[in-house]
């Protein structure tokens, strides 16, 4: 099923910055690739992928675009890749219009917003995570402190909140009026059902943001409010290293968005990085990981809601997912755009 040599949905260096639409859709892309191949401009051999895009930031969903731009600006200012990853993700967390990350994120079944986040540095293989964190709007920053100030990797719930307070983070309410109303409607619907609807609602958009600086260092982060109306205490893949995010400084980085249970049971992001280690390009690795999971779970890909993105040490990027609406943001000093990942059907 997997095809290591398949052209990815990104374009070669020599053409990608020239008068291309800022947003490349699947059909347009396929047409572009077809035309290029016909002209002999694109072969299936290694080396046809964009390479050495450094610095490079790639993030999930369309709201990842301003985040990646913020990451690049921060990198230019501070020269710190971790600062850049943190700043990009903080932007999404602080934006109340994004209803799946940080302030304004969807609450759990009891109406409480519980946030998950992690950060990982490929250079040192250090990582920090928080899960089920209440009342702190920027879990990515708390996760970074876990990495930098403790001997641990993951803090949860009350302990994570106490640590955040000790570190000087200000607490605040995270449930917006809009989310409170939506949650009340959801509760009313549940009461009206003879049997509770355990299927998660369609809201599942997480920010996973990975990047590389001009020295080739790689890092990444992930932040989410998790599945809307989840069971209190439920933790998804996003703060789990190897699940929602994984970085290996020698190989690359991968991040995930979708139904965390379907990602974390397969160590999804770790799997993508390991597939890149075996020689696959980022897009092929994302696609192969999903196909492998779909085979094991014996489900149609569309039922899995799994979406990956990845970058590799060569400065290439790619993504694949089972959700038709999935997009990734890609930002380098030369361009900033949204791309449609490979759709696994
Ligand atoms: C989770 N993967 O908690 C996260 C939710 C998500 O888009 O949206 N991903 O399962």
Q: Tell me the domains of the chain and their CATH numbers.
A: 2-339 (3.60.20.30)
Report the share of the chain in percent with pLDDT over 70. Answer: 82
Helix then strand then coil, in percent of the chain rounded to 5, is 35, 20, 45
Per-residue confidence (pLDDT) for residue 193, from 0 to 100: 77
Radius of gyration over every alpha carbon of the chain, rounded to an integer in angstroms: 19
Where does residue 193 rank: exposed (0-12), middle (13-18), buried (19+ CB within 10 A)?
A: exposed
**Closest to 344 measured CA to CA, from 267, 284, 298:** 284
131: left (phi over 0), alpha (psi -120 to 50) or beta: beta
Containing 70, the helix (H) or strand (E) segment is helix 64-78
Ligand 1 shell residues, CB under 6 Å: 100, 204-206, 224, 226-227, 236-238, 244, 257-260
Ligand 1 atom index nearest CA of 263: 2
User: Using one digit for the tens of pLDDT, what is the confidence trace for 26-43?
Assistant: 433 433 333 333 333 333
Ligand 1 atom index nearest CA of 116: 3
Where does residue 258 rank: exposed (0-12), middle (13-18), buried (19+ CB within 10 A)?
A: buried
Q: How far apart are CA 114 and CA 129, in angstroms?
A: 14
Instruction: Name the residue with the closest Cα to ligand 1, atom 5.
Output: 226
Instruction: Name the residue with the closest Cα to ligand 1, atom 3.
Output: 226
**Closest to 228 measured CA to CA, from 192, 254, 172, 190:** 190
| Residue 171 DSSP symbol | P
Quick count: other Cβ atoms within 10 Å of Cβ 297? 15
Instruction: Name the residue with the closest Cα to ligand 1, atom 2.
Output: 260
This prediction's pTM: 0.86
Cα→Cα distances 87→139, 157, 222, Å: 12, 23, 12
Q: How far apart are CA 218 and CA 82, in angstroms?
A: 9
Phi, psi values for residue 241, rounded to 5°: -65, 130
Q: Which positions are catalytic?
A: 206
Mean pLDDT for 251-274 is: 97
pLDDT at 206 over 50: yes
User: Using one digit for the tens of pLDDT, what is the confidence trace for 120-139?
Assistant: 999 999 999 999 999 999 99
Report helix angle 81-94 to 139-149, nearest 10: 150
pLDDT band per the 50, 70, 90 thresholds, residue 223: very high
Q: Which residue has the tokens 């020239």?
A: 18
Mean pLDDT for 278-290 is: 98
Q: How far apart are CA 222 and CA 161, in angstroms?
A: 18
pLDDT band per the 50, 70, 90 thresholds, residue 290: very high
The three-state DSSP-derived secondary structure of 72-115 is HHHHHHHCCHHHHHHHHHHHHHHCCCCCCCCCCCCCCCCCCCCE
Q: How far apart are CA 223 and CA 155, in angstroms?
A: 14
Per-residue confidence (pLDDT) for residue 243, from 0 to 100: 98
- Expressed in angstroms and rounded, the spacing between residue 18 Cα and the centre of ligand 1 is 35
Ligand 1 atom index nearest CA of 244: 2
Cα→Cα distances 228→120, 125, 232, 233, 236, Å: 25, 31, 11, 13, 11
DSSP string for 205-242: --EEEEEE-TT--EEEEEEE--STTPPTT---STTSBT
User: Using one digit for the tens of pLDDT, what is the confidence trace for 248-257?
Assistant: 999 999 999 9
User: Using one digit for the tens of pLDDT, what is the confidence trace for 85-102?
Assistant: 999 999 999 999 999 999
pLDDT band per the 50, 70, 90 thresholds, residue 199: low
User: Using one digit for the tens of pLDDT, what is the confidence trace for 146-171?
Assistant: 999 999 999 999 999 999 999 999 99
């Amino acid at each position: 099923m997997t095809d290591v040599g398949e052209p990815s949905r990104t374009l070669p260096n020599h053409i990608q910055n020239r008068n291309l639409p800022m947003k490349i859709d699947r059909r347009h892309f396929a047409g572009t690739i077809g035309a290029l191949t016909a002209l002999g401009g694109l072969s299936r051999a290694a080396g046809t992928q964009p390479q050495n895009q450094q610095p490079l930031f790639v993030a999930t969903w369309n709201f990842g675009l301003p985040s990646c731009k913020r990451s690049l600006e921060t990198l230019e200012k501070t020269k710190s890749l971790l600062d850049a990853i943190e700043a990009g993700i903080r932007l999404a967390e602080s934006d109340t219009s994004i209803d799946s990350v940080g302030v304004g994120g969807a609450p759990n079944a009891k109406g409480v917003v519980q946030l998950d986040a992690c950060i990982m540095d490929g250079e040192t293989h250090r990582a920090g995570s928080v899960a089920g964190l209440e009342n702190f709007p920027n879990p990515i920053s708390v996760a970074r402190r876990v990495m930098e100030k403790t001997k641990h990797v993951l803090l949860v719930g009350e302990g994570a909140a106490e640590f955040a307070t000790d570190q000087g983070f200000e607490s605040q309410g995270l449930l917006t009026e809009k989310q409170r109303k939506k949650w009340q409607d959801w509760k009313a619907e549940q009461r009206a059902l003879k049997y509770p609807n355990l299927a998660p609602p369609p809201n599942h958009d997480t920010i996973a943001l990975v990047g590389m600086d001009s020295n080739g260092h790689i890092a990444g982060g992930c932040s989410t409010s998790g599945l809307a109306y989840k069971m209190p205490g439920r933790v998804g893949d996003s703060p789990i290293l190897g699940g929602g995010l994984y970085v290996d400084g020698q190989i690359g980085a991968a991040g995930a968005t979708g139904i965390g249970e379907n990602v974390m049971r397969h160590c999804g992001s770790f799997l993508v990085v390991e597939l890149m280690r075996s020689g696959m390009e980022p897009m092929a690795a994302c696609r192969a990981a999903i196909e492998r999971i779909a085979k094991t779970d014996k489900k149609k890909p569309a039922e899995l809601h799994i979406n990956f993105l990845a970058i590799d040490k060569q400065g290439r990027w790619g993504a694949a997912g089972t959700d038709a609406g999935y997009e990734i943001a890609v930002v380098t000093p030369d361009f900033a755009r949204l791309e449609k990942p490979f759709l696994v059907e």
